[in-house]
Amino acid sequence: MSLKNKKLFLLDMDGTVYEGGRLFKGVNEFLGYIESSGGQYIFITNNSSRSVKDYVKKLSDMGVRVTEKNFFTSVQATALYLKEHFDGKRIFCMGTSSMVEELRNSGVDAVTSTSGKIDCVLAGYDTELTYQKLRDICYLLHENRDIPYIATNPDRGCPTEYGLVPDCFAICEAVNYAVGRRPLYIGKPDRFMIDCAVNMSPFKREQALVIGDRLYTDIAAGVNAGVDTVCVLSGESTREDIEKSEIKPAYVFEDIRELLSKIRE
């Protein structure tokens, strides 16, 4: 299906619509085009340290018109996964207080204490991590070798103004060195988030388009879900990376502005 017929736009944020606090040129025009053509845009993020409210504020501050409906985070995806597979069960969470609060608000029995019966262990990108939390998760994973163990997102590092800091995967690898167990990861590149976003929308899979700057998360998630993909060169990937990679986007553009001009052609 051609770009002109796309209706559901699933956008990555960092490196795709902004860098640091700077919104890329053409983003607001692009979102305006989507609205005026009867489409829908959703920002899909693997970052599990921030809540949807934080993102609404961040993008609003940059001058983008958004509400909570325009976001889908790995925490929201994890809540849906937990309701599907562990409904009514007690979930031990190693994550930020905003992650725990968001899970509780969506009906998950999220606990941060190891006492009592625990049915599943969850790790997130915990920017409030302490050694005690690492001890607690190791205790649970040693105590019950078969306990289901999941994590919000498989990102190795999270970009900051001075470079990468340990994200969820790096934290889980520290745990793995101690206990010899790795979690099942929910976020991109798994297809789960893309599937949820398509299913929650009024549109068909063929009408969806995944737009992102990372091949092994954004583009891979789209490919895994059978959705067309656009790789923008405004973030991490270069044309050379795309040539070398086995993960191929359907389209490559310099940035959102070029994507918009191609759709309008």
Given the rule CB under 5 A, which residues bind Mg ion?
12, 14-15, 213
Q: Write down the least CB distance from residue 233 to Mg ion, Å.
A: 12
Q: Write down the least CB distance from residue 10 to Mg ion, Å.
A: 12
One-letter amino acid of 220: A
One-letter amino acid of 200: M
Q: Write down the least CB distance from residue 232 to Mg ion, Å.
A: 9
Q: Write down the least CB distance from residue 18 to Mg ion, Å.
A: 10
Q: Which is nearer to Mg ion, 75 or 232 (CB)?
A: 232
Bridge partners, 109 (sequence order): 90
Residue number with the smallest Cβ distance to Mg ion: 15
Buried-exposed string 49-64: b where 16+ CB fall within 10 A, e elsewhere: bbbbeebbeebeebeb
Sequence-ordered list of residues with C-beta below 8 angstroms from that of 239, at least 6 positions apart, any chain = 233, 252
- Using a 10 angstrom Cβ sphere, with 0-12 exposed, 13-18 middle and 19 or more buried, the burial of residue 193 is buried
DSSP output for 5-48: G--EEEE--BTTTEETTEEPTTHHHHHHHHHHTT-EEEEEE---
Q: Strand ranges (DSSP E) for the chain?
A: 8-11, 18-19, 22-23, 40-45, 71-73, 90-94, 109-111, 120-123, 149-151, 157-160, 163-166, 184-185, 208-212, 228-232, 251-253
Q: Which is nearer to Mg ion, 7 or 188 (CB)?
A: 188
Q: Write down the least CB distance from residue 214 to Mg ion, Å.
A: 5
Q: Which is nearer to Mg ion, 46 or 51 (CB)?
A: 46
Q: Which is nearer to Mg ion, 42 or 93 (CB)?
A: 42
Q: Which is nearer to Mg ion, 12 or 255 (CB)?
A: 12
Q: Write down the least CB distance from residue 57 to Mg ion, Å.
A: 19
Q: Which is nearer to Mg ion, 196 or 211 (CB)?
A: 211
Q: Which is nearer to Mg ion, 199 or 238 (CB)?
A: 238
Q: Write down the least CB distance from residue 15 to Mg ion, Å.
A: 4
The DSSP symbol for 89 reads -
How far is it, in rounded angstroms, from Cα 102 to Cα 124? 12
8, 197 in Cβ contact below 8 A? yes
